[in-house]
Structures are given as C-alpha cells and as structure tokens.
Amino acid sequence: MSHDAEAMPHLDFAGTTPYEDYVQADVLTHLQTLRSDDPGEMVFLVTTQVMELWFTVIVHEWETASRALADDDVPTAIAALKRSVRELEALNASWRPLAQLTPGQFNSYRSALGEGSGFQSAMYRRMEFLLGDKSASMLVPHRGAPRVHAELDKALHEPSLYDEVLRLLARRGHDVPRAVLDRDVSRRYEPSPEVEAVWTALYAGDESAELARLGEALSDVAELVWRWRNDHLVATRRAMGAKTGTGGSAGVAWLEKRARGNVFPELWTARSHV
C-alpha cells in the first residue's frame, strides 16, 4: 500500500457518515422552504434560521451561568458569560447579509412572511426573559404550541440571570434590598438605587476581585445585546423605513424603544458615581 493510500481518510461507511449522525447536516440543509420566486429570499430565511441557532446556544450559556451563580460558582458563570460574548458577536454579524437590503428587495418577498415577525421567536423570548425583560403577554403568540408555551411559562417564573447575580451579591454580604430579592420574578426588572450603590462600591474597590470581574462579564453581554438591538433597528429602517412591521408590530418605532433600554441597568448607571 502506498504512503498516499495510507494517508487517505476512511471513506466507506455502512450507513450515514459519523459526521452526518452528529451534525445532522442533511436535516439542516433541507429546512428551507421558499415561498417566493425571489432569489434573495434564501439568504433571508437561512440567516433567520442561523439566528435561531445562536439564540439556542446563548440561552444554554446563560442558563449555565444562572445555575452556577445559584451554586456560588462564580468562575463557571464567568466562563459561560465569556463564551456567550463570542456567540453574541457571531449572532450580531448575522445582520450583515441583511443590512444592505433595499425596500424593493425586501418587498419582493416580504409577503411570504405573512404575519410572521421576529418578536414571535420563542427562543429569543427566552433570551429576553433571562436578561430580566419579562412579559407574560409575550406568551400569547405561543398558546397553540403546548411544549413551547410550557417552556416559556417556566422561564417566565424562574429567576433571571440578573436575579441570580443579585442574590449572589446579597449572600456575599452586599446590601441588596429585600424588596429586590423577594420581588415577583415574572415581572420586568426595574432599576434600584440601592443595587446601583452596591455596584458603585464594587467598582470603586479592587477591579480584579471576583465580583467586579463578574460585573464586567455582564457588561460585555449587555453591550452586545444593545448592539444587537441597534443593528436590528438599522437593518429594519433601511429595508422598510417607518412602515408597520410584519406581524402588526410598530416596526421601527418598536425597535427604537427597545434600543433605548439597557439590560443590567445599574451596571451602567453606577459608573457615573465611581
């Protein structure tokens, strides 16, 4: 047998390849059902599907971080948050194939979406819930899908990632108010001056300390979430201006409101006092 033959990879498999068994590429690459004749619809559909995959990974990372924080395992939480930063960067880059859409290009297949809209994404909603942006009304679109609705309802009533951070700070002896610790976690998180004071003290101290490093990892996440919202706003404004969004949303006006908010708000406001 020649050296070249010895170097050849194993090519003969009885069934599907081990790669296919693990990745299920054949399933992934046959999930695209186009609803128009426009050649640009494929990139829109695939990019949206890729976004859903990144949402799934990021939810996994933030749930891992939440569980670690509940167990007082800050290093594992920081590691998961840092992985999610790289994943958020890849997610945000998904806007690039769509960012140059002209109104004419978008209109050529927009009708294929029908009443479909990104705010109906269940996995993205789980991301928002983990960030503390809770809303029971956002479960309504999923009433017809019992498994998805149950998963969202569970996420709605569980502490967010930030709730677990604040509980950890309290266990470490910081003055997080009882009203914050005992709040109804199914409601949207509202900023607290006392929590701001806790972060101010942490940042005024040793920035290499574990909790300060946790704060910076959370800030990295928050910054990229803000960039995601702004990139979404810009891409939408370029493709459709101020028209009503698909699914009946307010389109750009809705996205502008979302882009003005910061997640983990006291991590940002505390910096003014350090």
The binding site comprises 110, 232, 246
- 244-272: string of b/e by CB count within 10 Å (b at 16+)? ebbeebebbebbbebbeebbbbbbbebee
End-to-end, the C-alpha distance of the chain in Å comes to 71
- Rounded Cα distance, 40 and 8, in Å: 39
The number of residues making up the chain comes to 274
User: Residue 203: which residues within 8 A CB-CB, separation 6 or more?
Assistant: 212, 215, 270, 271, 274
* Cα 35 to Cα 212: distance, rounded to the nearest angstrom: 50
CA distance 170 to 176: 6
- Binding site members for heme: 232
Residues 90 and 58: their CA atoms lie apart, in Å, by 11
Instruction: Tell me how crowded residue 173 is: count the other CB atoms within 10 A of its CB.
Output: 7
Calpha distance 236→255 (Å, rounded):
9
Residue numbers in the known binding site for substrate are 110, 246
- Half-sphere exposure of residue 165: CA atoms within 13 angstroms, side-chain side: 31
